[in-house]
Amino acid sequence: MALLHGPGVREKREFYRQQRIAAAYDQQRFGSPSGAWVNQREIRQVIDLIAGARRVLDLGCGTGRLSRSLAEQGCNVIMLDASDAMLARAVPAVGAPAVLADAFALPFAAASFDAVVALRVVFHFAEVDVLIRSVAPLLRPGGRFVFDTYRWTPRAWFAVGRQSWGGKVFIHAPATIERAADAAGLQVVERRACFLFSPYLYRLLPLTLVHLLDQLEPRVPASARSRVFWALERPEE
């Protein structure tokens, strides 16, 4: 598959290649007690959805927060990222093999993985169909692609704090994901709507308020929640 060079894709690659962005990444997002809660909740979702997978590719692994938990669960993780600044942090933190490569040109043989996970990655790209097509062949039959998207977020309308947070993110309608999965020969086997609004804001709230929001969440219709975690599966042959 050819490397994508669309302006959005290039902007995100370049943004995360900056040393100062990689250095600030974890503290900026997960440094407060509420940020740590968000971190744990996101990781738990992904671990649930991979359903016991062992060979796992962490696509856009960043500083390795998810890879570390996957490795602790006994997974054989391979970390992949387009940013050497990010990988320079992930490798010592996790100790798993790492590959500097692009999500749109993945250097692996067909059926290499039980699961490919991409946390906080897919919503950076308009080209979700291209990304799903790039991942699908890497899954063994019964293997899963687990990732998250936004239903709504102010960051899709305004590039709030572009210098420290990067440009805009994208909203993907569920029908878009379903169509892209179908076109790539994958089935949607799970979708979980969570967070009442962007977790980028949760991290600024007192932890007691975050716990209240968590209790409130089941009463809010899934379609009004901000993020969706997806599991797409390659059918058994």
Ligand X SMILES: C[S@@+](CC[C@H](N)C(=O)[O-])C[C@H]1O[C@@H](n2cnc3c(N)ncnc32)[C@H](O)[C@@H]1O
Regarding 66 and contact with ligand X (CB under 6 A), the answer is: yes
With respect to ligand X, which residue has the nearer C-beta, 116 or 119? Answer: 119
Kindly report each contact of residues 170-179 with a partner whose C-beta sits within 8 Å and lies 24 or more positions away, as own/partner.
170/8, 170/123, 170/124, 170/125, 170/126, 170/128, 171/123, 172/122, 172/123, 172/128, 174/228, 176/128, 176/129, 177/128, 177/132, 177/149, 177/228, 177/230, 177/232, 179/129
* Binding residue (CB under 6 A) for ligand X from 81, 114, 127, 233: 81
Instruction: Give whole-number Cα distances, 70 to 9, 10, 94, in Å.
Output: 27, 29, 10
Regarding 103 and contact with ligand X (CB under 6 A), the answer is: yes
With respect to ligand X, which residue has the nearer C-beta, 104 or 232? Answer: 104
Residue (of 102, 99, 85) closest to 25 by Cα position: 85
Stretch that binds ligand X, among 79-87, 156-164, 169-177, 191-199 (CB under 6 A): 79-87
Residues written for the chain? 237
Regarding 60 and contact with ligand X (CB under 6 A), the answer is: yes
Contact letters (x/-) for ligand X, 109-128, by CB under 6 A?
----------xxx-------
With respect to ligand X, which residue has the nearer C-beta, 12 or 151? Answer: 12
Regarding 135 and contact with ligand X (CB under 6 A), the answer is: no
Regarding 86 and contact with ligand X (CB under 6 A), the answer is: yes
Regarding 210 and contact with ligand X (CB under 6 A), the answer is: no
At its nearest, how many Å lie between ligand X and the CB of residue 12? 4
At its nearest, how many Å lie between ligand X and the CB of residue 208? 25
Regarding 62 and contact with ligand X (CB under 6 A), the answer is: yes
Contact set with ligand X (CB under 6 A): 9, 12-13, 16, 60-62, 65-66, 81-83, 86, 102-104, 119-121
